[in-house]
Structure 1
Amino acid sequence: MPQRRASTKGFTRTSSLLTGRIRTASESRGFAQSRLLTQWTEIAGEDIAAMSRPVEIGYARGGMGATLTLLTTGAHAPVLEMEKEKVRARVNAVYGYNAIARIRITQTAATGFDEGRAVFGPGKAAPVAAADSEIRRAAVETTRPVEDDGLREALARLGENILNRTNR
């Protein structure tokens, strides 16, 4: 049985549990800084992030600078080509040194990925299914003994979600 760690807080942040796995996955694509993937909008700026996505960082054999590959649609490629140096400067600011020597732009058709949509911005939120009133009442009734209002409401929502998934 695995040994438990003593913790003064009781819970461990999800981000600290996933950091190692995210780093391993991003390093397999050449990203030494996973921040480049997870915070692309803040690094490149909203206008550039809306038309591009970092795909890979390739390192030369001699180790003299890396090449960042950006994916974009054909219509945005000329604009992105003009902004290459600005993007390179922003990315190198994340690394703290001149890690990226070149930026390569890879184009995809507007009907490329995801059944005809090359999406570079944040996705739309999934529609929330309407809860059955009987399920809602059951969840509220189950959490009635909890004294704290906030906790009771959160537990009722959790129970409602679980009951909705099991009834599908």
Structure 2
Amino acid sequence: MAKPAPPRTERRFRGFEPASALLKERIRAAGETRGFAVTRLLTAWAEIVGPDLARVTRPVKVSYPRDGFGATLTLLVRSAHAPMVEMEKPRLIGKVNACYGYAAISRVVLTQTAPTGFDGGQADFAAIPKAPAPPDPKVEAEAANMATGTEDEGLRRALESLTRNYLTRMAQSKKGS
């Protein structure tokens, strides 16, 4: 008498998988511990609220009341930007609710913090870029001199830019050493 064949187990053999697919469940579980049922709120914060608000805020948690209606979103915000974010609360609530697809958030609570070093560095805010220093006239003259004789306008501007960047970096490296 022949033995019955063992049940076949399905093998997962789809080649390479994106890292996001491998970590999807872990990210979802970690987000749910903080009340984030929609992890997109964490991963796409800048796209949801816009780059200006994303630069100075970070979502921390979503708290749901006992009756289940009107959750509270807690945000970290730099102290200097808190008044501006306070005025933007109605717009923030609208954008976050658009992410959820329904009126999930009814309140936003701001927690003011220092710009860096909070929560083990996990909530560091992006640095506000400084205005670039005015170009050195000597470097500008040298860059224009190097590109002299080039007939194509686009190529001439590219050569000037390349020369300007090279000479600026060389001057900075000499100052640093």
TM-score by length of 2: 0.61
For residues 17 and 114 of structure 1, do their structure 2 counterparts lie closer, same or farther at Cα, with a shift above 3 Å needed?
closer
Aligned to 1:5: 11
CA contact (8 A) 2:76 2:110 kept: yes
Q: 2:80 maps to which residue?
A: 75
Give the counterpart of 1:93 among 92, 98, 112. 98
C-alpha distance in 2, partners of 1:69/1:84? 11
Report the CA distance between 1:65 and its aligned residue. 1.1
- For residue 126 of structure 1, what is the aligned residue in structure 2? none
**What's the RMSD between the two structures over aligned residues?**
2.4
Contact 2:31–2:37, Cα closer than 8 Å, also in 1: yes
- Counterpart selection for 2:40 from 35, 39, 50: 35
Q: 40, 55, 63: which one pairs with 1:58? A: 63
| Number of residues of Structure 1 aligned to a counterpart in Structure 2 | 119
User: What is the CA-CA distance between 1:110 and the residue it aligns to?
Assistant: 4.4
| Secondary structure, aligned partner of 2:80 | coil
Name the aligned partner's letter for residue 62 of structure 1. Answer: D
Gaps in structure 1 of 5+ consecutive residues: 123-168
C-alpha displacement at 1:103, in angstroms? 0.5
Structure 1's consecutive aligned runs of 4 or more residues displaced over 6 angstroms after TM superposition are none
Letter paired with 1:21: R
Larger Rg: 2
Distance 2:92 2:62 in 1: 14
Q: Which residue of 1 aligns with 2:22?
A: 17
1:31-64 Cα deviation digits (max 9, x unpaired): 0011111111000100000010000000001111
User: Matches of 2:63 and 2:117 in 1, distance apart?
Assistant: 23
Secondary structure of 1:105's match? strand
* Alpha-carbon distance between aligned partners in 1 of 2:125 and 2:64, rounded to the nearest angstrom: 25
| Deviation per residue, 1:83-136 (Å, 9 max, x gap) | 0011110000010000001101110134652799x73238xxxxxxxxxxxxxx
Q: Does the aligned pair in 1 maintain the 2:82–2:112 contact within 8 Å? A: yes
Instruction: Measure the CA separation in 2 of the matches of 1:21 and 1:77.
Output: 32
Which residue type is aligned with residue 41 of structure 1?
A
| CA gap 1:111/1:27 in 2 versus in 1, 3 angstroms | closer
Q: Distance between the aligned counterparts of 2:102 and 2:120, measured in 1?
A: 39
> More helix by proportion, 1 or 2?
2
Code of the residue aligned with 1:95 in structure 2: it is Y
- Distance in 2, matches of 1:41 and 1:15, equals 18
TM-score by length of 1: 0.64
Distance 1:11 1:5, change over 3 A: farther
